[in-house]
Every structure is written in structure tokens, then in C-alpha cells.
Amino acid sequence: MALKYSWCTYLCIVIIGTIPTPTKAQDRILGYGSLKIWEENSWLLFLDRNDSFGGRFSEKGILKRFTPLVDSKYQLDVLGSQFDPVEDFYWNSKTNGVRWRGTSATTLTLTSAAEFKTSVDLNGSWKMDARFNQLMDSGFEGSAIRLQFSRELERSSEIFSGMHLDPHKAGGDFWIGARWKKGANQITGQFTILDPLNDFLHVTLDAALHPHGDTTVVYTQQPLAIRVGDHLRLSDDIRLEVYGMLMPAGQSIISSKSQNNEGFTLKESARYLGGLIEWTPTEYLLLAGSYTEISADSDRANTHTSFRPLNNQLLEQTQEITAFSIFRPNPNWTLSLTGVRKRMLEKRTFQSDFANNINYLLTLWMSKLDISYTTTNGFMTKGGFLHSNSKVPEGKGDMNVTKSLAGNFYRFLLNFGWKFDNSAVVLGGAYDYTSNATPRWIWGTASGRFSMYW
């Protein structure tokens, strides 16, 4: 699937010609791209479902991409505020650090994400890592704390085990895994038991007897997950990253004591796959392409005919193709271009003649052109142009979102900030242009980010 050309692409070519040409004496000043943060964020959707929109057992499903907090410019907001693949690679290469990004979602709220990580050596070959993630967006509002212990077996391999610490006790998770690495090449495998304490809390201790407890959750099929990752350098100029996760079907029975143990059964499965290939033909130019897909299936069956919502099967799927390039001829100038093709499907089939099925498809073409200049003392300014064209070719059923998600928008973004050796702070604002709305020019959004490493 090829990305369409726009005047943004041709403008990129013109600007490249105006940037000072690098000399042969310059060292490599360009980083690398990474898909690791996409994989981490996708994994957290399944690891910490209690903090998702509507809660763990909401009829919205697992991914929850279409909520009342989503509007037609939401995807554009995300593209304009997120860290780029090179910044993500730099973050992944650091052992200790904290970073945050946020953009205005409504008059009163931010869409934001915070990450903190640290690692300490224990005795000999043992190490302990801690990670904290906080996320607030249209489908998730919460935080996740993960603790992991690892032991180096040889120079090229290690084993590890860890846990997700959740204030919802039944939502904690446990995993074991192994990693093999040699130079830039690395293969990781992980086996996770999701919610291992659930039945002990709900059955053995009967959590529903608590004054604030009413709901009982019993797993008839324990949810498990297999997670893999592969970093491979094919040559001096070509890198490859591949990630995948498979969560086979887990099944639970949810009942309420206050409603005479009425409730429903829920069967869920999920998977994701992502791959990135990167080519650096010169030390100043990086070209990368990626494909990601994440999907989840939910099958809900009520234990009483009067219970709502009605029995239904839900399929949630997001597919994305991204092309990314960055040109950095010297430490001062940077030019980057991103193109995105996204397809978001939600299909709900009711087992009733009295309910309307949902078959909803949102497709998006998005592009982003950034040019930045950083002075020798660290002051940075960046100008950006973003374009989003979203359509709803299939829109059967009520999605309960803010107005229509279809629209054609242009955004002009200006950022200012300061970069230091081990930290950076950036603030920005944007104006939007829409040809079919009045007024055509409106204030788009404000955003900010910071990062620190030690």
C-alpha cells in the first residue's frame, strides 16, 4: 500500500536543497529509529485493563479507540505531540530516565503520557529494573508500575522475571522470560500470566463479601500471553525490528450478588504484530518504514435474558503503515517527513433481531513535515506542517463519538525549547485550517514535552 504524494512531499525536497551541505570531516550525527515504544504502549493495553475507559469489563471492548472523548482531530493531535522514532530509540538506549509529553485535548484536559525507568545492579550478575508509565487519553486513564529482576548467564544471554503492581489486586500480572544478544542483534521471549491472583481473591477469599464488594469474577480459562521481540542488523546500513504478542482466548464469569448472581460470561483474545525496517544510506540520512497491526476479539454472553447489553461478538482492529525519513546534515539543522496510512475497524454482531449490528471503519491519511534548527548553546526552534484526511467508508451503527470522525485538516505547528547534554524542554502551539468550516482558521492546540537522563 503506497502513500499518496502531496505538496508537503515536494516542499520537503525543496527545503533539503537549501540546507548547508555537510563536509566529509563530520562524524555521524544521526540516530536510529525504533518501534519499541509502540510495542510497549500496545502491551500496556492488555496489562492494565482496569484503568481503561469504562473499566475492565466495559462493553467497549479492550482497545477502546472510539469513545465520547474522540473527535475528528484526535489522531492529528497524537501525531503532532508524540516523540518521533529517533527520540524513542534514544530513550530505549538509556538505562535511567524520565520523560513526559502532553497536548491539549479539551479546554480542561490534556492527553498526556509519562515514562520513568531506572536500573540498579545487585550482587554479581543480578539486576533490578523499575518502570512507571502514566497515560491519560481517550481510552485510558491510569498508571502502571513494573518491577523486574534479571540475571546475566553469559555475556550474550540473560533470564528475567517480573511483575506488574496494580492497586486493583486482581489485576496484577507475573512473567518470566529470556533474552539473547550479540552486538546489535537481540531476541527476547516472555511468557505472562495475566491476573494470577484473581480466583484466589474472588473465590477463596470471596471478595464480594466486602462492604464495597459486589461483583465476583471467576476465570474458567486463565488468560495468558506470549510476547516476543527481535532486533537484527542485516548489514552496516540496514536494521530490522520485529515485535509480536499472542493472548489466546481467556474466559471469565462475571456475576453480581446484588442482582441475584446475574451477569455474563466473557471470552477474550488478542494479538499484535509490528515490524520496522531502517536504511541509512549515508550518515546524515535515515529512511524507515513500519507496519503494525493490533486486534482483539470479545464474546459476551449474558446469564440472564433481561441483562444488558445483549449477547454480542466484538472485533477491534487497527492497522497502520508508516514511512519516516530524517535528514541531519550537521548538528544544527534537522528535517523530517512522516507519512501515515491508518485503518481502524470495529465490528459488533448482536445475537438478536432487535439490535442493530455495528460495522464501522475509519481510514486516515496523515503527513507531517518538520524542520528544526538548534543553536550551539542548545536553543531549539521547530516549524511543522501536518495534514489529516479521515473518512468513514463504512459507518453502520452508533459509535458514540464526538460528532463525525471524518474530516480534512491542516495544522501549522511552532515549537520552542532548550536542549542540554542530558535533558530537553519543548513548548509549542498550533493553528488549524479547515476549508469546509467557519471560521476556517482556529487555534489548534498547545503541547509540551520534557526528557531527562542520568
Which tens digit of pLDDT belongs to each residue from 16-36? 333 333 333 334 457 788 999
> Domains in the chain, please, with CATH?
33-453 (2.40.160)
Which tens digit of pLDDT belongs to each residue from 182-218? 888 999 999 999 999 999 988 888 876 676 677 889 9
Give residue 128's pLDDT. 97
**CB of 444 closer than 8 Å to CB of 431:** yes
Most trustworthy range by pLDDT among 3-17, 109-123, 434-448: 109-123
Give residue 7's pLDDT. 40
Is this structure's pTM higher than 0.95? no
Residue 406 C-alpha cell reads as 471524518
Identify the weakest region by mean pLDDT among 29-33, 94-98, 217-221, 250-254: 29-33
Which residues pair with residue 396 across a beta bridge?
A: 359
Helix intervals (H) in 210-280: none
Task: For residues 274-279, give the mean pLDDT.
Answer: 97
Which tens digit of pLDDT belongs to each residue from 125-141? 999 999 999 988 888 88
Most trustworthy range by pLDDT among 169-173, 242-246, 305-309, 391-395: 242-246
For 400, counting Cβ atoms within 10 Å of its Cβ (0-12 exposed, 13-18 middle, 19+ buried), the class is exposed
Task: For residues 261-288, give the mean pLDDT.
Answer: 94
The CA distances from residue 137 to 66, 105, 165, 443, 452, in Å, are: 11, 8, 21, 20, 23
Give residue 29's pLDDT. 59
Q: At what angle do helices 85-93 and 36-47 cross, to 10 degrees?
A: 80
